[in-house]
Amino acid sequence: MTKIGDSIPDLELEAFLGDRIEKVRLTDYRDQWLVLLFYPSDFTFVCPTELQEAADLYEQFTELGAEVLSVSTDSAFVHKSWHESSKAVGKVRFPMLADRSGRMCREFGTYIENEGLSLRATFIVDPQGIVKLIEMHDEAIGRNVGEILRKLQALKYVSDHPDAVCPASWKPGAEVLKPKFDLIGGL
């Protein structure tokens, strides 16, 4: 299972993007931030609200040098059908990955074995392919994509400013902390 500080696996999956189905490799996104949005299933109730919110904020993610990928165990053809039939999902301009075998979900620890579905989870990966954030929760509640964007901004800031850390609820332009290390090497 992928943990904070791990390199992401080099997996290739089919993805629906725009009007086509193509192969996507996770390593294709090296040198940029990556936001992975795992969700249970297409044609459900909560999932389209999250994907619409991600689509609405997508330009802000790309301005930060990030790509968003959504991931479920549905096929790329099901993604295409959902994209064409849902006003909310029709806004999506990022790749929708099809993890039919559940391999990617298993690698990232989101797979629900007895259901063949993924938990609702978010991973943020830095440009070197290292996992920096993991959030995972029950499928009955949706995530706040605006908060994911804020956390990406904070991760990017501390990556660019290694002498700084961001306090709770930090937003761009707010004060950061510049801790001094003590003799035993902690903060």
Q: Which amino acid is at 116?
A: G
Written as tens digits, the pLDDT of the chain (187 aa) is: 999 999 999 999 999 998 999 999 999 999 999 999 999 999 999 999 999 999 999 999 999 999 999 999 999 999 999 999 999 999 999 999 999 999 999 999 999 999 999 999 999 999 999 999 999 998 899 999 999 999 999 999 999 999 999 999 999 999 999 987 655 655 5
| DSSP symbols for 38-77 | E-S-SS-SSHHHHHHHHHHHHHHHHHTTEEEEEEESS-HH
Q: In the structure encoding, which two tokens stand for residue 135, read together?
A: 């959030």
Backbone angles phi, psi at 148, to 5 degrees: -65, -40
Q: Is 105 tagged catalytic?
A: no
Question: What pTM was estimated for this model as a whole?
Answer: 0.94
List the catalytic residue out of 15, 34, 37, 47.
47
Domains defined for the chain, CATH in brackets: 12-145 (3.40.30.10)
| DSSP symbols for 91-154 | G--S-EEE-TTSHHHHHHT-EETTTTEEPEEEEEE-TTSBEEEEEEE-TTS---HHHHHHHHHH
